[in-house]
Structure 1
Amino acid sequence: MHMGTFDGESVYYIITDSNDETHVDLITEKQEWKVELALPLSNTPKEALQTVYMFTDGVDDDGIHGYQAEVFSSTPTQTDEYSALASITNVSWKIG
């Protein structure tokens, strides 16, 4: 199980499938169980997806890339906004 955040609070989640082969391999290795490559997920309309922010650098932590935990745009309690499917936005910190 992974830990992320929503609105400053911890959320726990699992990852079972991805349409991105790089994420399939990375997440499978990190969580020690197989994530399935599911290319048909690429056909999901954007409006049916929530956004998850995944950090590719910054503060070392337990996020998928080894940095800050993922940040979710919604949870199941946001019944009008929540989707179990997510669009990933990779975030990198800029000095300045």
Structure 2
Amino acid sequence: MLAAGLVDEVRRLLPLGLKQNTSAAGSIGYRETIAMLEGTLPESELAATIVKNTRALVKKQRTWFRTQLPAHRELPATTATVESLFAQA
């Protein structure tokens, strides 16, 4: 994200009303970058904060799937084809 120009993207979008779009401004990456540009998050902590918040979201989503979709099971991330994974299900 950062290497692809996230900070420049957010810097360009802020004057166009990015913060008024709460779903975009609250998304991981944008939220932290806005905080950094506004001076509430040190630039040196930007990448680590994005990683931390991404992991927290993954944990939240896994918990939701586990409690809401008990029949759901995680499939291993391998080089297996979609067809072979469906054959196992």
TM-score bracket for this pair, using the shorter chain length? under 0.3
Larger radius of gyration: 2
Greater RCO structure (CA 8 Å; 6+ sep): 1
Q: Which has the higher strand share?
A: 1
Which protein has the bigger helix share? Answer: 2
